[in-house]
Amino acid sequence: MKRAAPLLLPLLRTRTQGDILAAVLLHPGQEQSLSDVARLVGASPATVLREVDRLEDAGLVTTRRLGNTRLARARTDNPVYAPLAELLAVTFGPLAVLRDLLTDVGGITRAFIYGSWAARYHEQPGSVPGDIDVLVIGDPDRDRLADVVDEAEKELHREVNVRRVSAAAWETDDGPFKRTIMSSPTVELVTDEGDASGRNDGGEGTLADR
Percent over 70 (pLDDT), the chain: 90
Q: H helices within the chain, ranges in order?
A: 15-25, 34-41, 45-57, 81-89, 93-103, 116-121, 142-156, 167-172, 176-182
The CATH architecture assigned to 93-190 reads: 2-Layer Sandwich (3.30)
User: What's the pLDDT tens digit per position in 9-60?
Assistant: 999 999 999 999 999 999 998 999 999 999 999 999 999 999 999 999 999 9
pTM of the shown model? 0.85
Instruction: Decide yes or no: CATH 1.10.10.10 for domain 15-90+198-209.
Output: yes
Q: Which of 133, 94, 132, 136 is nearest to 111 (CA)?
A: 136
- The candidate with the shortest Cα–Cα distance to 159, out of 185, 131, 193, is 131
- Compute the distance between CA of residue 120 and CA of residue 99 in angstroms, rounded to an integer: 18
List, for residues 85-122, the tens digit of each pLDDT value. 999 999 999 999 999 999 989 999 999 999 999 999 99
Domain with CATH 3.30.460.10 in the chain: 93-190
**Over residues 158-184, mean pLDDT:** 95
3-state SS class at 101: helix
pLDDT of 57 reads 96
Q: In the predicted model, what is the mean pLDDT of the chain?
A: 89
pLDDT beyond 50 at 7: yes
Distance of alpha carbon 55 from alpha carbon 21, whole angstroms = 9
Residue with the bigger pLDDT between 207 and 210: it is: 210
Residue 10 DSSP code: T
Q: According to CATH, where is 1.10.10.10 located in the chain?
A: 15-90+198-209
Nearest by Cα to 13 from 23, 24, 2: 2
Residue 202 has pLDDT above 50, yes or no: no
Confidence of residue 5 (pLDDT cuts 50, 70, 90): confident
Contact by Cβ (8 Å): 36, 197 = no
Cα–Cα distance list, 10 to 85, 87, 112, 120, 206 (Å): 16, 12, 24, 11, 31
> What is the reported pLDDT for 205?
34
